[in-house]
């Protein structure tokens, strides 16, 4: 959770004792022993109700009964709380960015339509995310209590979001240097497209993609030597065709590669974005890009 949302905070920097104290103070938890806490969200601030976890009294024989008693106590707190405040549950559904959506049967990869340009389809197709990845992201997004822990950590570390330097290694591997050297993995063609856009901070209009065909081919050849030259040429022609959705498919794979390692709030600085009819670009300052 921390690595995904706060990669700029190293695990070795986290003071768990201070974090525990911050949580106890915030929710008025008095116990110095293991405790379960039900946190109720109110208009004037969260309230905590502690449920003692009596480890010294729990045995193998009475484990089930002890757990049932603890759950019943929590249920009473919740019931009493709802009767008094008619409040919403603390853990709420947090909607993910509307840009991203799960892949569907209607999503035809690389499908060409002579009537619709890749630019017109950009928002629809360049942010497709596989269902399993979307489910994992949503689990992180909907864990409300963990989101509060993140807020506490940021306060304790007095940290603000820091973008990592992007390192392009000599073998064209891509790393987020300041996030424990996380590698952002892509297959050769999406990586070649990504490196092309990195070269052009001003952005590239999709209708002008054919002008970049030779440059993209040069990048692609440096990344991979295995592919059949004719097949490589065909792939490059398609991905630089303004009427072929191949470019949107590659942009989707690029955004997925970053979303696998960091949250959208950070990742959006690294993948390709842009409005319809405008140049598509990578927002990251090129001062943060390091080539070996």
Q: Is pLDDT above 80 for 40?
A: no
What is the CB neighbour count within 10 angstroms for residue 67? 12
Distance linking the first and last C-alpha atoms of the chain: 31
The pLDDT score that the predictor gives to residue 105 is 40
The pLDDT assigned to 20 comes to 85
In a domain, 17, yes or no: no
Asked whether the predicted pLDDT for residue 53 surpasses 90, the reply is no
Q: How far apart are the C-alpha atoms of 180 and 290, rounded to whole Å?
A: 16
Distance from CA of residue 283 to its chain's centroid? 16
- Give the tens place of pLDDT for each residue, 140-156: 665 556 667 777 887 88
User: What pLDDT is attached to residue 266?
Assistant: 92
Strand (E) positions, the chain? 35-40, 47-52, 101-102, 128-129, 166-168, 174-176, 182-184, 272-273, 281-282, 289-291
Q: Is residue 187 part of a domain?
A: yes
Total domains in the chain come to 1
220 belongs to a structural domain: yes
Closest CA to 284 of 176, 201, 187, 186: 201
Answer whether residue 167 is part of any domain: yes
User: Which pair of tokens denotes residue 236?
Assistant: 């490059």
pLDDT for residue 143: 57
Query: Does 109 reside within a domain?
Result: yes
Rg (CA), the chain: 25
* Largest distance between two CA atoms of the chain: 75
Q: What is the pLDDT of residues 96-141, one digit of tens each?
A: 454 555 554 444 454 555 568 999 989 888 888 778 777 777 766 6
**How much is the pLDDT for 8?**
82
Backbone angles phi, psi at 190, to 5 degrees: -60, -35
Mean pLDDT of 202-214: 97
> Would the pLDDT of 285 be above 90?
yes
> Would you state the structure tokens that stand for residue 110, as one six-digit string?
């690389």
**In a domain? residue 254:** yes
184 within domain boundaries: yes
Residues of the domain holding 108? 101-130+162-291
In a domain, 210, yes or no: yes
């Amino acid at each position: 959770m921390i690595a995904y949302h706060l990669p700029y905070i190293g695990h070795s920097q986290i003071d768990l004792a201070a974090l525990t104290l911050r949580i106890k103070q915030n929710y008025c938890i008095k116990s110095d022993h293991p405790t379960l806490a039900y946190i109720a969200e109110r208009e004037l601030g969260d309230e905590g109700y502690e449920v003692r976890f009596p480890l010294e009294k729990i045995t193998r024989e009475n484990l089930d009964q002890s757990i049932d008693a603890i759950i019943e106590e929590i249920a009473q707190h919740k019931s009493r709380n709802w009767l008094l405040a008619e409040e919403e549950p603390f853990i709420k559904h947090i909607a993910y960015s509307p840009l991203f959506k799960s892949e569907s049967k209607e999503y035809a990869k690389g499908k060409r339509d002579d009537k619709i340009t890749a630019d017109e389809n950009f928002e629809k197709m360049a942010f497709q995310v596989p269902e399993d990845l979307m489910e994992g992201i949503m689990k992180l997004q909907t864990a409300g209590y963990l989101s509060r822990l993140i807020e506490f950590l940021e306060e304790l570390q007095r940290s603000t979001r820091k973008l990592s330097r992007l390192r392009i290694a000599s073998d064209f591997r891509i790393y987020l240097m300041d996030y424990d050297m996380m590698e952002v993995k892509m297959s050769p063609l999406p990586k070649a497209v990504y490196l092309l856009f990195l070269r052009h901070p001003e952005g590239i209009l999709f209708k002008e993609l054919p002008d970049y065909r030779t440059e993209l081919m040069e990048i692609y050849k440096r990344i991979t030597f295995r592919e059949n030259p004719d097949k490589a040429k065909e792939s490059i022609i398609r991905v630089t065709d303004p009427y072929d959705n191949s470019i949107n498919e590659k942009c989707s794979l690029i955004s997925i590669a970053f979303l696998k390692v960091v949250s959208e709030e950070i990742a959006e600085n690294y993948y390709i974005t842009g409005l319809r009819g405008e140049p598509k670009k990578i927002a990251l300052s090129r001062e943060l890009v390091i080539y070996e």
